[in-house]
Structure 1
Amino acid sequence: MTSFGEILKSVGDFGRFQKCLVLMVSLSSFLAAFPLFGQMFMVLHVPHHCDTNWIREIGPNMTKEEQLNLTIPRSPPGSYEECQMYTPVEKDIDSILKYGLNATEKCRKGWVYPAEQEQTLVTQFDLVCDRKELSNISQSILMLGFLLGAVISGTVSDRIGRRPVALLSLLVMGAFGVGTAFAPNFYIYMALRCIVGAAVSSVSLSMVTLGTEWVGVSYRAHSVTLGNSAVPVGQIALAGVAYGIRNWKLLQIAGSAPVFGLLFYIWILPESARWLVTKGKSEEAKTLLQKAACVNNRRLPPELLNQLTCEKKNKSGNVLDLFRKQQQRNVILIMFYIWFVNSLVFYGLSFNIGSFGLDIYLTQFVFGAVELLARLCCLFLLQWFGRKKCQSYFLFQSGVMCLIIIGIPKDMPVVVTVLAALAKCAISASFAVSYVYCAELFPTVIRQSSLGLCSMSSRVGGILSPLIGLLDKYHPSVSMVIFGSTSVIAGTLCFLLTETCGKELQDHMEAAVASQRSCENVMSNCETGSLKLKEDGQDTGHTRSTHF
């Protein structure tokens, strides 16, 4: 019998077919940058003050400056208070001019913004004063959507396929993204953002899984890393688009409508042949493999292709299988923690190191460039050093940089910023490695479910990261201690995982568990001085993948 990996070698490990697939993954990742980071350009601070037109009824001829002097108190720096006004009184204008007003209260009838100000989320929905925290809540709601999408899409994709989940999610992402621009109130806006977040999460996981399952062993890291590298490119592009479009509705439409341009995926996006085989759909898998071989200008021997008809249909996997065997249980729990830390530190640093002395548009450009560099470095490092060492090193580097920041004096902001940027670069690279590593550690029957669960853990970290930042009011080093220590612990736990570099993907739970047990035996024998296991006079250093 022939393994799927050997059939894939005949098709082409990374030919034109796979390169086109990676391009499709990259386009969807590029467009995912807007729902992730677009809102930050819509909630910039806008000068405002309470609406005090009540005084116009008794003094219609006063100037705007006179109105503000009479009705708005001043803050210590001398500017008008943004969230306070003098309490209206039933007096004539002469009495008010003579004695003034003393009692203050919160704004009664809303706020007034500069007439020349472009419409933003702040001005549209009055996200100021007591309503200011709604903008942060909406980001948490978006992360909740990501969490829901990870949970739902993982299970559904392993049951009905990667392709239908990706296509449906793209349609939802575009339709509800554009619809968000027409939300009548902020609560509807947040609900739509939650749906968009779920769709983005589903698209990302489905496309990453497709990119993993269609590419040969030696190019698997290239496929996933290049696809994810499009996200920081999207961040860089977003900085330019947001700089040119200041109206939030137009920006929302400009960032969401391009998704409809990917609907041609309906005709060209392939299903995973590996997934089809695990579901017993060998004829459909044959057709796809023949098409891929044709696109790659390769000839697929019929006798090799006919091996697929000999496969015995295996029992489908489910997420509970991840916890039944100790080996898989240890792996999934460690990956949960790694993904949680990745998100916790990544978003935590993004919220805390935004002081480069640059405006928000240039800062976004710099952040995108740093992330792009980190992800591209993974292309080479993953092949040279393997998944486990890279994952561990990047987590250690991020954690150590965060802990070093604690000892840097506050009067050295440049040093702090450089260290924080290095930490963010490392955690971005760790995120990129996690996608490759997680996709390789788990078998095909539950690969996307596993990715979904890990992504769910990641979103919990993203939700908690701004809350950790609030702890700095007790001590300025609390957040960095948490970010640094959790990263170092995660880096240490990586040593308990098996290396997957250069190994064929496993298709079923039994093969995956056997492979991990075999790796543990090899490591044990290394400690006693015997690296190779002898079986019938042959060297066997690993367990082969499932055969058809």
Structure 2
Amino acid sequence: MADFGEILRSIGEFGLFQKVILFALCFPNAILPFQFASVFFIQSDPERHCNTDWILRADPDLSTGEQLNLTLPREEDGSFSRCRMFVPVDWNISDIREHRLNETTGCRDRWVYTNSLYEATIVTDFDLVCDQANLLEVAQTVLMAGILIGCLLFGPFAESFGRKRAAQVPVVVMVIFTATTGLCPNFYLYLASQFMVGIGYGGYRLNGVILATEWIGVSRRALGACGTQLFGAVGQIILASMIYFVRDWRLAQLLTAAPLAVVVVYIWFVPESARWLLDRGRTEEAKQLITKVAAINKRPVSDSLLEKIVVKETEKKGGIIILIQSSVLRKYFFTIILAWFSLNITYYCLSFNVGNFGLNIFLTQAMFGLTELPAHILCIWLLEALGRQVSIMSTLLIGGLLCLLILAVPQGNAAAVTALATSGRFFANWAGSICNVYVQELFPTSVRQTASGLGSIASRAGGLLAPLLNMLAMYHSSIPTIVFGSLTLISGALCILLPETRRRELPDSTDEAEANR
């Protein structure tokens, strides 16, 4: 029987077909960063005061200054309270001026926001301030929880129903709930919609890259895996530009849904993975696809090659059981998921703090995207020049060290803190690209999607915990940095346990994967 690497060498490892499919599957990754717009671009503690228009019933001609002076208590520094107001009374204005108001209460009729950087954010629309301020971290956590569940659901889904369906369904979910998120009238419906968006996001990020790389030959596999990340970096830059000009989060959601609707149309024409079809014993379908791909790539496909493609004995399906039973695969599995978890918690801890580094938030976000571009371009070259093991160890160790160096810089030095945070995020993102390639090369076809899915779940667990870890800064500002910086260093050191897989065919069986030591 012909192995799939031999088939690809015959029909073209990276011909016109692969280029078109790679672009089609990478393009949505340029849109996915927009899903974070509502939780990234906010002012967590905007200038505000309680709405006290009740007093205008007593005297509609009051000036703004006098209205605030009569209805709001003052803080110790002399400024008006941002979370308290005087209890409304049914007095005439002369009695209020003469006796003044003394009894205070929390804001009863929402807030009035001033000097805001944005026209509208989830903080100002849903009043996530004062005793509701922690709900902002809840919103971030719910989105990350949805991404984790998406990986959990669509990993096994792809094994049973195919890579194609597992990439199509999440896009449909995203386009529906991205639009409904922008129309949500209250915070709880917003959370539900964002959770569903996260499910679609996680499902597509996991399966889009698998579908793309399973059609690409060994010589260009790194390009296929890193290409999806490269488009994501471009999306980060476009996101900063979009929010700079569109400072209303609801409009940003609807603008995000529009290109996703285009993806929904064309993604139904993306073909299934022939490698998956062969693994499932659907040989005739695989042969038809291989013949079409050869025609598109203008490569002849011989009858002798097609005759070699026979129904193979399907390897025992055990999913995670195979990973756990094999001591070699188990070692690889736990090492790679720890690395993925660590880099993701680092990435999102820094990302969710984009507005707290001291520099302009739009500039910082654009810098994040601009630094990711060379990370993924360099990744494609270095994976071939240095190999997988050296690349992942060096990126994790350097990234963790840069994050810990933030603690040595005075917090008032915004430029230095931003530079170190951006550099740490750069290396964490670089390591993420390597993990995308590495996890596919370590495990056999029968459990590759399961391993990738579980690895993505571990990485999304890191993203899920990032907002909660950032909340520990209320006890000491250095706690989050110490935790995620140390985790990244430890996981980088443990990657010495992984084998080198550069320029080797994807293993099709457990024996082939175990032999790669």
Global fold match (TM > 0.5): yes
Corresponding position of 1:246: 247
Higher mean alpha-carbon deviation, 356-365 vs 395-404, is at 356-365
1:282-315 CA-partner distances (Å, limit 9, x unpaired): 0111111111111111011111111112523333
1:428-448 CA-partner distances (Å, limit 9, x unpaired): 101111111111111212222
**Number of aligned residue pairs:** 516
CA distance 1:153–1:111, change in 2 (3 Å): same
1:466-519 CA-partner distances (Å, limit 9, x unpaired): 333343454443333222221121111111011111111112334323x24xx2
- SS at 2:105 equivalent: strand
Corresponding position of 1:397: 398
Give 1:63's aligned amino acid: S
Give 1:283's aligned amino acid: E
Higher mean alpha-carbon deviation, 219-228 vs 57-66, is at 57-66
- Check the 8 A contact 1:34/1:238 in 2, yes or no: yes
- Structure 1 CA distance, aligned partners of 2:311 and 2:19? 30
- Structure 2 CA distance, aligned partners of 1:131 and 1:475? 21
Please state if 1:169 is matched with 2:173.
Answer: no
- Structure 2 CA distance, aligned partners of 1:119 and 1:413? 26
- Structure 1 CA distance, aligned partners of 2:73 and 2:321? 62
TM-score normalised by length of structure 2? 0.94
Please state if 1:154 is matched with 2:150.
Answer: no
What do you get for the CA RMSD once the two structures are aligned? 2.2
1:143-171 CA-partner distances (Å, limit 9, x unpaired): 00011000110001011101012111111
Higher mean alpha-carbon deviation, 364-373 vs 308-317, is at 308-317
- SS at 1:174 equivalent: helix
- SS at 1:498 equivalent: coil
Alignment map for 1:491-530 (pairs within 5 Å): 491-513=492-514, 515-516=515-516, 519=517
Shift of residue 370 of structure 1?
A: 1.1
Shift of residue 270 of structure 1?
A: 1.2
- Structure 2 CA distance, aligned partners of 1:474 and 1:252? 34
Corresponding position of 1:41: 41
1:411-437 CA-partner distances (Å, limit 9, x unpaired): 655444333332221111011111111
- Structure 2 CA distance, aligned partners of 1:10 and 1:501? 21
CA distance 1:508–1:407, change in 2 (3 Å): same
- Check the 8 A contact 2:168/2:264 in 1, yes or no: yes
- Structure 2 CA distance, aligned partners of 1:30 and 1:348? 21
Corresponding position of 1:95: 95
- Structure 2 CA distance, aligned partners of 1:202 and 1:436? 17
- Check the 8 A contact 1:74/1:80 in 2, yes or no: yes
Give 2:143's aligned amino acid: L
- Check the 8 A contact 1:392/1:492 in 2, yes or no: yes
Higher mean alpha-carbon deviation, 56-65 vs 193-202, is at 56-65
Give 2:319's aligned amino acid: N
Alignment map for 1:103-118 (pairs within 5 Å): 103-113=103-113, 118=119
Corresponding position of 1:17: 17
- Check the 8 A contact 2:444/2:513 in 1, yes or no: yes
Shift of residue 87 of structure 1?
A: 1.9
Give 1:166's aligned amino acid: A
Corresponding position of 2:448: 447
Corresponding position of 1:84: 84
Higher mean alpha-carbon deviation, 462-471 vs 412-421, is at 412-421
- Structure 2 CA distance, aligned partners of 1:304 and 1:208? 27
Corresponding position of 2:199: 198
Corresponding position of 2:387: 386
- Check the 8 A contact 1:353/1:421 in 2, yes or no: no
- SS at 1:105 equivalent: strand
- SS at 1:181 equivalent: helix
- Structure 1 CA distance, aligned partners of 2:32 and 2:144? 13
Percent identity over paired residues: 39
- Check the 8 A contact 1:122/1:128 in 2, yes or no: yes
- Structure 2 CA distance, aligned partners of 1:401 and 1:126? 36
Please state if 1:304 is matched with 2:305.
Answer: yes
- Structure 2 CA distance, aligned partners of 1:115 and 1:477? 30
- Structure 1 CA distance, aligned partners of 2:176 and 2:466? 30
Give 2:306's aligned amino acid: L
- SS at 1:264 equivalent: helix
- Structure 2 CA distance, aligned partners of 1:410 and 1:267? 50
- Structure 2 CA distance, aligned partners of 1:92 and 1:409? 53
CA distance 1:363–1:486, change in 2 (3 Å): same
- Structure 2 CA distance, aligned partners of 1:310 and 1:182? 51
TM-score normalised by length of structure 1? 0.89
- Structure 2 CA distance, aligned partners of 1:240 and 1:407? 32
1:57-110 CA-partner distances (Å, limit 9, x unpaired): 333442333221100123345443221101223443222212312222211222
Corresponding position of 2:133: 132
- SS at 1:270 equivalent: coil
- Structure 2 CA distance, aligned partners of 1:39 and 1:311? 49
Alignment map for 1:170-189 (pairs within 5 Å): 170-189=171-190
